[in-house]
Amino acid sequence: MTKPFYISKEALERLQNELKAFKTTKRREVTDKIEAALALGDLSENAEYHDAKDELAMLEGRILEIEDQIKNAVIIDESKKATDMVDVGSEIDVETEGQKITYKIVGPNEADPAHGFISNETPLAQALLGHRQGESVEFNAPSGKKMYRIVSIK
């Protein structure tokens, strides 16, 4: 069974648009580069050809990755998020070492830790998921074990 890929409706639309652009415009551009390089002859020393083939391979890999993400997408419905338990889409206030921090648990495509958006796949989010306001969770941070107390869930 494949794991769900949590994403907001807006981010899913951006991903679908990116896929469409890759499958139409970008793929055509790269195949045109390959055709132009082929016209130059001798492929053994044709850097343009090898670069274009590498670019096409990376593009095809990204297309497969996006298609997999879309296939396994689970829309984070902001209107139905629970406020009694930490879940994907929850905005939470936690307290650790006397410091209050606000996090929003999002899917991996929307993670931006510097702005408080953490992926549901991170060890911190995994430790917080399923817990309730007032509960404390222990988290193995790179600097060692830390205790986080959930102050509020929004």
Are 97 and 146 spatial neighbours (Cβ–Cβ below 8 Å)? yes
Does one domain contain both 85 and 148? Answer: yes
User: Does the pLDDT at position 82 exceed 70?
Assistant: no
For residues 130-147, average pLDDT: 92
- Residue 27, domain extent: 5-75
- Span 18-36, pLDDT tens digits: 999 999 999 999 999 989 8
Provide the total of helices (H) and of strands (E) in the chain, helices listed first: 4, 7
The dihedral over CA atoms of 58, 63, 74, 102, expressed in degrees to the nearest 10, equals 40
Does one domain contain both 43 and 107? Answer: no
Higher pLDDT, 77 or 6: 6
CA angle 109, 116, 93 (to 5 degrees): 130
Tell me how far apart the terminal alpha carbons of the chain are, to the nearest angstrom: 31
Does one domain contain both 56 and 88? Answer: no
- Find the largest Cα–Cα distance for the chain: 70
Query: 118: domain CATH number?
Result: 3.10.50.30
Does one domain contain both 61 and 85? Answer: no
What predicted TM-score, i.e. pTM, was given to this entire model? 0.75
Does one domain contain both 27 and 91? Answer: no
